[in-house]
Amino acid sequence: MEINRIQTNDIPQIIKNRKSRDAIQYDGIDDRVKTIVQAIRQDGDKAVKHYIHQLDGVHLTNYIVTQAEIAEAYHSVSEDMIEVLNEANANIKNYHAKQKETSWYSADAQGVWLGQQVTPIERVGVYVPGGKAAYPSTVLMNIMPAVVAGVSDIIVTTPVQADGTINPMTLVAADLAGASQILKVGGAHGVATLAYGTETVQAVDKIVGPGNAYVARAKKYVFGDVGIDMIAGPSEVCVIADETAEPAYVAADLIAQAEHDELASAVAVTTSESIASAIQLEVEAQMKQRDRQAILQESIQQQGGIYVVSDLETAMKFVNAWAPEHLELQIAEPFEWLPHVKHAGAIFLGHYTPEPLGDYFAGPNHTLPTNGTAKFSSPLGVYDFMKKSSVIYYTENALNQVRHQVERFADEEGLDGHRESVRIRFND
């Protein structure tokens, strides 16, 4: 892991190099996605089953998970893990409950009543990636905010395994969190099934959850017909370390991030030369003891880095230029520096708040904006599962007070029907 001494004016180029990571061409994928989505939109279940057979290699007569399958799944998950899932669920629920907005109104003596009505989305689809490993944390983090929001129907979809089943851990986590229905449909065909519905599954209003390139491009394709959450890129951490940081902790947190995949990015920014060297040594030493050697070698070498800066002001400039998904402040005064952070998905303060604590357990969502999108987007939250309606009520008198202004505006925009809709109420 290279150490670079940098100044403020080096930052834009570093960020630019990072951004060029994702200049991937999706043309081939996009064509395929379009074919799949259009087929399912037109032919429904027949097309869904066709793609499950073609792409997942399984013949399914029914792609909806049965109650019996869920009950069976509980038998294959250990009791202590169910306890941990329940505890995590409670923490996630508590944090997200604080995000829940309520309707409000304001009124004045002139007879003007204005409000904002906040209501849950009715039907939501949650995409859960498949593969050999199950990621129950992803299941909880995507379902629970919808539950807190008051969503009536939460439809989970996930790729079917070669034997026609779903990983039991995924089923248990989905059931515990509050899924209404679970489908065995992965990939772009899973997204299409949720977006447009079929004879057996009603379309949803919004789709959330991570997935591979086919899932991501399918979500972008159906966006507009349904809502979607963000399109997530590779995971990232930026650790800010001052001279009080413990290099072994910093290194462990960098490795925890880098082990996700080859494109994951783990970067430390420190005000101390000696801490930088110590982090470098610790990363080398600790890496050797980890399971995922190949992934770590690749991501630490290609995407990792240690930057030495003159002070924490410069470190903050780095943070705000990058807008990292995860930010750790392993510094003496993290609360003092918190207000300097303008853009980051999640911020971990102090020496005892490692990022994996947030991945699994603390409560805040682990679905976070990546690749600089924290400049304009937020962690997945209850607000993603609710929406607002403006409400306006004017009394006759209140409308009379402002009618000429409204009519003037309508004249300016050349819309006489707009003018008339006000004027007619006073019949002069």
CA angle (149 as vertex; 375, 120 as ends), nearest 5: 95
Interaction between residue 422 and a copy of itself (CB under 8 A): yes
Pairing of strands 386-394, 112-120: antiparallel
419 binds a copy of itself (CB under 8 A): yes
- The C-alpha atoms of residue 366 and residue 356 are separated, in whole angstroms, by 9
Fill in the per-residue mask, 240 to 259: x = in contact with a copy of itself (CB under 8 A), - = not in contact.
--------xx--xx-xx-xx
The reply to whether 326 belongs to the active site is yes
Question: Which residue is listed with tokens 């869920």?
Answer: 70
Residues 24-63 that bind a copy of itself (CB under 8 A): none
Contacting residue, 226, 267, 268, 269, with a copy of itself by CB under 8 A = 226
- CA angle 38/48/227 to nearest 5° reads 55
Written as one string, the DSSP assignment of 90-155 is HHHHHHHHTT----EEEE-TTSEEEEEEEEE-SEEEEE---SSS--HHHHHHHHHHHHHHT-SEEE
Site for a copy of itself in 292-311 (CB under 8 A): 292, 296
Q: Residue from 231, 267, 269, 308 that binds a copy of itself (CB under 8 A)?
A: 231
Structure tokens at 343: 């853009």
Catalytic residue among 325, 343, 355, 366: 325
Distance in angstroms (rounded) separating the CA atoms of residues 47 and 39: 6
User: Which listed residue (136, 186, 234, 305) binds a copy of itself by CB under 8 A?
Assistant: 136
CB of 292 to a copy of itself, least distance (A): 7
Q: Is 317 in the site for a copy of itself (CB under 8 A)?
A: no
Asked if 356 touches a copy of itself (CB under 8 A), the answer is yes
Report the site for a copy of itself in 81-100 (rule: CB under 8 A).
81, 84, 87-88, 95, 98-99
418 is in an annotated binding site: yes
What is the per-residue binding string for a copy of itself in 190-209, x denoting contact by CB under 8 A?
---------------xx---
- For residues 414 and 152, give the distance between their C-alpha atoms in angstroms, rounded to a whole number: 44
Which residue among the candidates 96, 189, 326, 366 is catalytic per the annotation?
Answer: 326
**Residue 79 annotated among the catalytic residues of the structure:** no
The single residue among 104, 244, 273, 301 that binds a copy of itself, judged by CB under 8 A, is 104
Which residues neighbour 425 within 8 Å (Cβ) at sequence distance 6 or greater?
396, 399, 403
Q: Does 344 bind a copy of itself (CB under 8 A)?
A: yes
> Which one, of 102, 99, 149, lies nearest residue 126 by Cα?
149
**Smallest distance from a copy of itself to CB 49, Å:** 24
**Residue 326 marked ligand-binding:** yes
Give SS3 for 244. coil
Active site residues: 325-326
